Structure 1
Amino acid sequence: MPVPPDTATSQTSEAQAATSFAPPGRRRRLAQLAWGAALAGAVALGWVAYWWTERISIERLRAAGAQRLEVYAASLENLLDKYDFLPHMLELDKNVLGLLEHPHDQERRLEVNTYLERLSRQAGSRIIYIVDLQGRTLAASNWRQKDSFVGDDIRFRPYLQNALSGRPSGFYGVGTTSGEPGYFYARGVHRDGRMLGVAVVKVNIEEQARGWVQGADKVMLADANGVLFLSSAPASKYHTLLPLSASVRASLAQTRQYHGLPLPALPIRRSEAQPDGTRVVTIGAANGSEARGTITPPLLVQGRSLAPRQWTFLYLSDLSQARANARAAVLFAWVVYGFLTLLFLFLRQRLQAREQLQAAYNQLELKVAERTARLERTTQRLMKEAEVRRQAEQQLHRTQNELYQAGKMAVLGQMSASITHELNQPLTALRTMSDNAVLLFERGRIDEARQNLSKISQVVARMGTITGKLKGFARKSNAELGPVSIHTAISNALVLVERRLQLDKVAFTLDIDQGDVYALCDSNRLEQVLLNLMSNALDALGTLERDAPRALTIDVTEGDGKVRIRVADTGPGLTDEARERLFQPFFTTKPQGEGLGLGLAISEQIVRDFGGTLRTETTTSGACFVIELQAASVERQDG
C-alpha cells in the first residue's frame, strides 16, 4: 500500500531524529565495526585474488615449460642421431680396416688421417679417430694440429671400454688433450666377425645451448650423476644438483669425464616439492653470500628424461612474473573494492547532503546579504585607497620632475662662472667694436664700418646660441620617450662645457661608430645626464697637477639592440668606497660646499626611467661611466 507523502516524511524525520540523538559512544562503535568489516573484506578479497591469479600463472608457466622441454629434447635427439651413422661408414672403408690390421704402415696411416679429416669436415663433427684394441689412437682427423689425438692412450674412457665389450655407446665428457667438451660416439670395427678396433666420433653440442635462452628462464641438461654439463646460464654449468658422494667423485676421476673440474653443488637455499611432480627452488650466490641481489627469485623446476642416455632436461621458469601478476590482481581487486566502497559512501553522502541542502539554502540568503554588504564596504575602502595612491603617485611624479629640474639648475649654478666668462668676453668685444663703428662712420670709412658691424652680428649670434642652449637646458621636460639623436645630445651638452675644456686645457675626443645613433629616451634629460657626467669629469681633472695630461673621451657604440655611451676621463679615478656609494643621494667626493651629492643619484634615476642603466667600469686610470639605452631606428624618428 502506498505511503502518503506526509506520513513518509514524518517517518524519515523520526528515523533521522532517532539516529541523531543516538549516544555518541554507540555511533562510534558502529562506525568502527563497519570499517573493520570493510577492512576484513578487503583482506579476504586480496588473498583470494592473489591465490587464484598465482595458480593460473603457474599453470601457464608449467604448460609452456613442458612444451619447450619437448622441443629442446627433440632438437638434441635429432642432433645426436645425425652422427650415429659415421662409425658404420668407417667400418666399410678398406684403408681403415687395413690400418687396424697393420698399425705400423705409415703410408696407410697418412691416407686414413687424410680421409678422416675430409670426412669430419663434410659431416660437421668435431673429431673422428680410430683406436686399436689396446686403446691407442692410430689415426685422427686432427692429425695436423698440435693437440692431435694420434698416439693417445684412452683405455680409461667408458665409451671405449663399452665398445670393446661389444656395446656401442655414447658418452659426454671433457677432452683430456684439448680440454674441449663434447659427445663421443664409439662403435667397434669388425671384419669377418672379428673386432679389429673402435671408431670414435666427437661432436660439439655446446652450440645447442645457445638457443635455450628464454628471458629470465633457464634450461639445463644433467647427467645420471646430477652434473649440469649444458646450461643456458653459464654460471651454473659444471655444478651438481646435489653434493656428490666420495664414490661418485672417485668414479668420475677414474674416467676423467670432467677432467680437472671441481663440480661444486648448486647453492640451493630452498626446495619445495609440488603435487604435480615439479619443484620450487631458490638458488643463492655461488660464494654463499646472502647480500641483496645475490639470491635468485623463486624458480619452477620441470624435468624430462632422455633415455637411454640417462640424461635429464631441466627447465627453470622464473616465478617473479607470476607473483607480480598475483600482486597486480590484488591491487586491481582492492582498487575495484575501494571504488565500490567509495561509490557507496558517495551515494550515502549524497543522501545526507540532500537533507542538509535545504538547511543550508535557508541560511544562504542571509550569508549572501552579509557578504554583499561586506564586499561593498571593502570596495569603497579599496576605491579610496586607490585614489590616495593615485594622488601619491602624481605627487611623486611632480616631486621627481622638480628634483630633476633642481638638478639642472644646480649644474647651471656650478657652471655660472664659466658661462659668465663666456658671455663677458663677447660683451666686451661688442662694446669695443661698436665704439669703433661710430668713429669709422664719423670719418666716412663706410666699408670698414660695415665690416665691423658684420663682426658684431656674428658675436651676437654666438651669444644667442649660448643663451638658447641654456634656455633649452633649463626648460622642464615633458618626460615622453622617443628616438633621440645621441650626436645632437652630446653636442648640446658640449656647448655648455666648451669654455671649461678650453680654460682647463682638456683634450676632448668623440668617437661614434656610425654617422649618428638614435636611442629611446628624452633629449632634455639625456643632455642633463651627459652634462652632469662631463662636469664631474672636469671637476676630477681640475684636481690634477698643472702639467698632468687631461683628457675627456666620449665613446658611442650600438649593438644587440642597445646604445652604449662611455664617458671616461684621465682623472684620479674612484676609490672602492666611492664605487659602493656612488649613486646614493647626498654622497659626494667634492670638498664641502662644492656639491650636494645629488647629481649622480638623479642621473641614475633618469636613465632607469628610460629603461636603461648607468654604471661604472673599471679602468687602468681615471673614471669611466657607461650609459646603456634601448636603440631606436631613424624611421621611427622620421615618422
Structure 2
Amino acid sequence: MSLQSPSAAPRASTRRLSGWAAHWLLSIVGVTLLAGALWGAGAWARDRTLRDLEAQARVSAQLSLTALGHKLDKFRAIPRVLAQDTALEAVLESPSPAALEDLSRRLETLARELGPSVLYVLDASGWTVSSSNWRQPDSFVGHDYRFRPYFRDAMGARDAAHFALGVVSHEAGLYLSRRINGAQGPLGVVVLKIGFRDLESAWARSGMPQFVTDDRQVVLLGYPEDWHYRVARPMSPAEAVQVRTSLQFGAAPLDLLPLDPLPASEDASPAPLLRLTRAAAGLEKGARVLHIEQAVARMGGWHLHLLKPVSVDLARAALAAQALTLLALAALGMAGW
C-alpha cells in the first residue's frame, strides 16, 4: 500500500490547469493567426484587384476621351471655313429674302451631311438671318442672340466656344462660332451647334457613369442624364446667380453630385474612391466607384470623368483569396506540417 503526499493532489490539479491554459492559449494564437492570414489575403487581393480595375478604367477613359476629341476636332473647323466663304459674305452685305433663303438651304444640306448639328448665321446685331433648321417649328431664324457669349466673344475675338441649353430648342449643345469679316468691318457670326447624344448613348451602354465638367465643375453632358447641370463642388451664391442669370443651364438647380469621398482608411487606391450617396445609373446607394479624371484638350477647363464600379469585384476577389488561403492551410494541416 502506497501513501500519497498531501501536496500531490494540488500539484496534479495545477498540472491539469496548466495544460488547459496552454491549450486555450494555443487555440487563441491559432485563431488569431488564422484571422490575420485571412485578413492579409483579403487585403492583398483587394489591392491587386483595385490596381487592375484602375488600369482598365484608365483605358476606358482614354477611349472615351479620344472619341470626344475626334468629335470636337471634326466640327471645330467648320465655322472657320464658312466664315471665309465669299458667297456668305456677299449675302450678309446684301441680305435679300431670296439670298437668305438660298443660304438657309445651303446650311441645311451641310448640316445634314455633318450629322446631329445646326448651322446658322447672325448679322452684326446678333439677329439670326439664316439657319439650317429654317423649315422646322423651332427654327432659329428671327431670334436675337446678342446676349449669348458665343456671339459677343466671336465679335470681339473672332473665335468662340460656349456650352449652353438652347433657348428655343431646349436642347443642350456646344456652340462653336466665328466672326465673318467684310471689307468695311465685321458682318456677323456663323455658329455651329453640336449635340452629344451619340456619345452619351455609347457611354450609357458601357454601364459606367461618364460625364464632362466645365471649369466651374458643372456637369455639361454625359451619363446618367439626370446628372446634367449638377456640380462636383458647392457653388457660391454669387456664382449660382451669375450662371442662372446667363440662362446657360436654364432653371437647373445646380445641385451637388451624389458622390462622397471615402475615408482615407478605406481608400488605398492610387486613384480616388468615391461612394454613391444615392442610387444612380443602375448602381445601389453606397456603391464604391473608382474615379478617373482627364483634361479635354483645347476646351478651356473641360474634364472627362469616368466612374468604374468596384464594390462587387473587390468583395469577390477578397472572398476567393480567403477561400484559397483556408484550403492551403487545411492541406498543410492534413499533411502534418
> What is the CA-CA distance between 1:57 and the residue it aligns to?
0.9
In the alignment, what sits opposite 2:275?
Answer: 282
Higher relative contact order (CA 8 A, sep 6+): 2
Find the aligned partners of 1:150 and 1:266 in 2 and give their Cα distance.
37
* Inter-CA distance 340–237: structure 2 relative to 1 (3 Å threshold): farther
Find the aligned partners of 2:41 and 2:205 in 1 and give their Cα distance.
28
In the alignment, what sits opposite 1:123?
Answer: 114
In the alignment, what sits opposite 2:198?
Answer: 207
In the alignment, what sits opposite 1:23?
Answer: 15
- Tell me, what secondary structure is at the counterpart of 2:135? coil
User: In the alignment, is the contact (CA less than 8 A) between 1:136 and 1:151 conserved in 2?
Assistant: yes
Alignment of 1:513-528 (within 5 A): none
Task: Name the structure where helix makes up a greater proportion of residues.
Answer: 1
Matched, 1:306 2:299: no
Counterpart AA for 1:279: P
- Tell me, what secondary structure is at the counterpart of 2:326? helix
Q: Tell me which of 216, 227, 239 is aligned to 1:248.
A: 239
- Tell me, what secondary structure is at the counterpart of 2:76? coil
In the alignment, what sits opposite 1:232?
Answer: 223
Q: Tell me which of 118, 123, 127 is aligned to 1:132.
A: 123
In the alignment, what sits opposite 2:8?
Answer: none
Find the aligned partners of 2:269 and 2:15 in 1 and give their Cα distance.
59
Calculate the aligned-residue CA RMSD, in Å. 2.6
* Inter-CA distance 46–215: structure 2 relative to 1 (3 Å threshold): farther
User: In the alignment, is the contact (CA less than 8 A) between 2:261 and 2:272 conserved in 1?
Assistant: no
Find the aligned partners of 1:342 and 1:59 in 2 and give their Cα distance.
35
- Tell me, what secondary structure is at the counterpart of 2:157? coil
Q: TM-score, normalised by structure 1?
A: 0.47
In the alignment, what sits opposite 2:9?
Answer: none
Q: Deviations over 1:107-138 (max 9, x none)?
A: 11111111111111122242100011211111
Alignment of 1:128-527 (within 5 A): 128-192=119-183, 194-213=185-204, 216-272=207-263, 278-285=271-278, 295-309=285-299, 310-320=301-311, 321-344=313-336
Q: Tell me which of 75, 83, 88 is aligned to 2:80.
A: 88
Q: Tell me which of 83, 99, 102 is aligned to 2:91.
A: 99
> What is the CA-CA distance between 1:227 and the residue it aligns to?
1.5
In the alignment, what sits opposite 2:61?
Answer: 69
User: In the alignment, is the contact (CA less than 8 A) between 1:216 and 1:318 conserved in 2?
Assistant: no
* Inter-CA distance 193–59: structure 2 relative to 1 (3 Å threshold): farther
Unpaired runs of 5+ in structure 2?
Answer: 1-11
* Inter-CA distance 213–142: structure 2 relative to 1 (3 Å threshold): closer
> What is the CA-CA distance between 1:191 and the residue it aligns to?
2.6
- Tell me, what secondary structure is at the counterpart of 2:235? coil
User: In the alignment, is the contact (CA less than 8 A) between 1:170 and 1:185 conserved in 2?
Assistant: yes
User: In the alignment, is the contact (CA less than 8 A) between 1:46 and 1:333 conserved in 2?
Assistant: yes
User: In the alignment, is the contact (CA less than 8 A) between 2:261 and 2:275 conserved in 1?
Assistant: yes
Find the aligned partners of 1:202 and 1:301 in 2 and give their Cα distance.
30
* Inter-CA distance 181–307: structure 2 relative to 1 (3 Å threshold): same
Q: Deviations over 1:129-162 (max 9, x none)?
A: 0011211111101111111101111122112111
In the alignment, what sits opposite 2:5?
Answer: none
User: In the alignment, is the contact (CA less than 8 A) between 2:83 and 2:181 conserved in 1?
Assistant: yes
> What is the CA-CA distance between 1:218 and the residue it aligns to?
2.2
- Which entry has the higher C-alpha Rg, 1 or 2? 1
> What is the CA-CA distance between 1:202 and the residue it aligns to?
0.9
In the alignment, what sits opposite 1:472?
Answer: none
- Tell me, what secondary structure is at the counterpart of 1:84? helix
> What is the CA-CA distance between 1:22 and the residue it aligns to?
9.2
> What is the CA-CA distance between 1:338 and the residue it aligns to?
3.5
Find the aligned partners of 1:45 and 1:132 in 2 and give their Cα distance.
74
Counterpart AA for 1:40: T
Find the aligned partners of 2:148 and 2:236 in 1 and give their Cα distance.
21
Find the aligned partners of 1:213 and 1:336 in 2 and give their Cα distance.
42
User: In the alignment, is the contact (CA less than 8 A) between 1:190 and 1:197 conserved in 2?
Assistant: yes
> What is the CA-CA distance between 1:214 and the residue it aligns to?
6.5
* Inter-CA distance 235–324: structure 2 relative to 1 (3 Å threshold): farther
Counterpart AA for 1:112: L
Counterpart AA for 1:182: G
Counterpart AA for 1:223: D
Unpaired runs of 5+ in structure 1?
Answer: 1-19, 288-292, 348-639
Find the aligned partners of 2:205 and 2:119 in 1 and give their Cα distance.
33
Counterpart AA for 2:272: R
User: In the alignment, is the contact (CA less than 8 A) between 2:83 and 2:178 conserved in 1?
Assistant: no
Counterpart AA for 2:276: I
Q: Give the number of equivalent residue pairs.
A: 320
Q: TM-score, normalised by structure 2?
A: 0.86
Counterpart AA for 1:89: V
Find the aligned partners of 1:113 and 1:281 in 2 and give their Cα distance.
49
* Inter-CA distance 209–278: structure 2 relative to 1 (3 Å threshold): same
Counterpart AA for 1:72: S
* Inter-CA distance 343–160: structure 2 relative to 1 (3 Å threshold): same
> What is the CA-CA distance between 1:251 and the residue it aligns to?
2.2
> What is the CA-CA distance between 1:187 and the residue it aligns to?
0.5
